[in-house]
Amino acid sequence: MRIERIELRLVQMPLIAPFETSFGVETIEEHIIVRVDGDGITGWGECVASEGPWYSYETNQTAWHVLRDFLIPLVWQNELHAASEFPQLAARVRGHRMAKAGLESALWDWFAKAQNKSLAQMFNALQTTQRDYVLPERITVGVSVGLQATPNALVEQVRAYRQEGYTRIKIKIKPGHDVELVRALRAEFPTLRLQVDANSAYRLRDADIFRAMDDYNLLLIEQPLSNDDIFQHIKLQRELQTALCLDESIHSVDDAEAALELGACRIINIKPGRVGGYTEAVKIHDLAAARNAPVWCGGMLESGIGRAGNVALASLPNFKLPGDLSASRRYYRQDIVEPEFEVDAEGKMRVPSGPGIGVEVSQKNLDAVTVSTQVFKRK
Ligand code: OSB
Ligand code: MG
């Protein structure tokens, strides 16, 4: 059982509509697709870094460098028996978690296929929360709505997503575009499951803005203060009724433990890319479960390759809140997997049950979005 070949592809996928957050606008999603081959089995993974260091310090160029020069050589130099062994090998490389997660996710697919198991089954076996947990066939998912030109445009966009089936909506906020957006949505949709995401755009002195949000029955407020911060979030959470949820500040199970124990948040957004892969993601899931803190699966506008693993992860028992896991067509005119991911009239998504990621990669669609490729082989 050996991997003999690894391929990296830089892909650029045009988004159906620009996605605007407090840190910028994205129109084309650039990611790295990782393919590993050996013993006649192909594993696929996705690195969710972006073109620029806006959401995190990683970019596709730093990820490519770290994959090529440090992470891929680890696969040649070590005998791997499971994808969950990879993080220990990669621990010598500080940070660069998206790069690590990109390769680890391809290894997860490869090992899962070698055992004829779905990723959901693999992650279920790894989790320690409920040993005999019966995986769901479908999970409730949500949609993350970018900043819109006007509050009215936001209301109409949310109405359209609700008509498509989504029952949980997250909106992006930034200074000057916050409470009044929540107010406008609440006036129109009084019982909608609604949450907001600031992507680190505020300071503690803006606490009044978040206090005002306490009146609108939000599920949570995501990452209001600085990326990497724990201390200021503790102070803010003390002032609020609404639960804070951390995204950018949580890079590891240790960060998650600190944040929950110190009261910096009550909920955690788990993004496998941000925490170095699915192995660490499951550890955070288990830690949060032991502390009675719900988690949910965040997204990085993944293609169907990354989405497949995220949906599998989100089928674990402590993913108590719907994730940012939307249908392929919410993002892209054409996904690179078949079948594409869909959301039904009840706002649910099917968890792939076939081996590994459980969807087929369309070579034609992948080739159409590939801008560069590099192949590495075992010597
Ligand atoms: O903060 O959750 C975020 C997308 C890119 C970078 C950061 C975030 C997001 C999203 C999109 O909110 C979630 C999705 O993939 O649908
Ligand atoms: Mg976020």
pLDDT, average across residues 278-298: 98
pLDDT 10s digits, 37-54: 999 999 999 999 999 999
* 8 A C-beta contact, residue 148 and residue 174: no
Residue type (1 letter), 262: L
Told to judge if 271 belongs to the known catalytic residues of this protein, a careful annotator would answer: yes
pLDDT, average across residues 119-123: 98
Q: How far apart are CA 357 and CA 351, in angstroms?
A: 10
| Residue percentage of the chain with pLDDT more than 90 | 100
Q: Given this model, what pLDDT does residue 1 score?
A: 73
| Number of other CB atoms surrounding residue 299 within 10 Å | 23
| Number of other CB atoms surrounding residue 85 within 10 Å | 16
Q: Given this model, what pLDDT does residue 5 score?
A: 98
Answer yes or no: is the C-beta of 26 below 6 A from any ligand 1 atom.
Answer: no
**With 0-12 CB in 10 A as exposed, 13-18 as middle and 19+ as buried, what is 268?**
buried
Pocket test for ligand 1, best of 13, 47, 55 (most atoms within 8 A of CB): 55
What average pLDDT is seen over the chain?
Answer: 98
Q: Given this model, what pLDDT does residue 284 score?
A: 98
Of residues 100, 113, 271, 283, which has the active-site annotation? 271
pLDDT 10s digits, 175-207: 999 999 999 999 999 999 999 999 999 999 999
- Residue 350 forms beta bridges with which residues? 138
Look-up: residue for tokens 């002032």?
A: 239
Helix 278-290 vs helix 253-262: angle between axes, to the nearest 10 degrees? Answer: 20
pLDDT, average across residues 110-138: 98
Q: How far apart are CA 225 and CA 240, in angstroms?
A: 14
- Residue 10 forms beta bridges with which residues? 32, 372
CATH code, residues 5-116+363-377: 3.30.390.10
Look-up: residue for tokens 């869909």?
A: 342
Answer yes or no: is the C-beta of 303 below 6 A from any ligand 1 atom.
Answer: no
Would you state the structure tokens that stand for residue 256, as one six-digit string? 């998650």
Confidence of residue 259 (pLDDT cuts 50, 70, 90): very high
pLDDT, average across residues 102-109: 98
Q: Given this model, what pLDDT does residue 190 score?
A: 98
Answer yes or no: is the C-beta of 55 below 6 A from any ligand 1 atom.
Answer: yes
Would you state the structure tokens that stand for residue 313, as one six-digit string? 């992860």
CATH code, residues 122-350: 3.20.20.120
Query: What residues does CATH 3.20.20.120 cover in the chain?
Result: 122-350
Query: What residues does CATH 3.30.390.10 cover in the chain?
Result: 5-116+363-377
Q: Given this model, what pLDDT does residue 346 score?
A: 98
Nearest by Cα to 76 from 111, 41, 36: 36
CA angle 335, 340, 342 (to 5 degrees): 125
Q: Given this model, what pLDDT does residue 245 score?
A: 99
* 8 A C-beta contact, residue 103 and residue 279: no
Q: Which residues surround ligand 2, an ion (CB under 5 A)?
A: 197, 222, 247
What residues contact residue 78 under an 8 Å CB cut-off, 6+ apart? 89
Of residues 172, 320, 364, 377, which has the active-site annotation? 172
Pocket test for ligand 1, best of 15, 20, 21 (most atoms within 8 A of CB): 21
Answer yes or no: is the C-beta of 324 below 6 A from any ligand 1 atom.
Answer: yes
Q: How far apart are CA 16 and CA 228, in angstroms?
A: 31
| Residue percentage of the chain with pLDDT more than 70 | 100
Q: What are phi and psi of 334, to 5 degrees?
A: -140, 120
Q: Beta 221-222 vs 244-246: how paired, if at all? A: parallel
Q: Given this model, what pLDDT does residue 125 score?
A: 98
Answer yes or no: is the C-beta of 197 below 6 A from any ligand 1 atom.
Answer: yes
Q: How far apart are CA 320 and CA 220, in angstroms?
A: 13
* 8 A C-beta contact, residue 258 and residue 265: no
Look-up: residue for tokens 């992006």?
A: 172
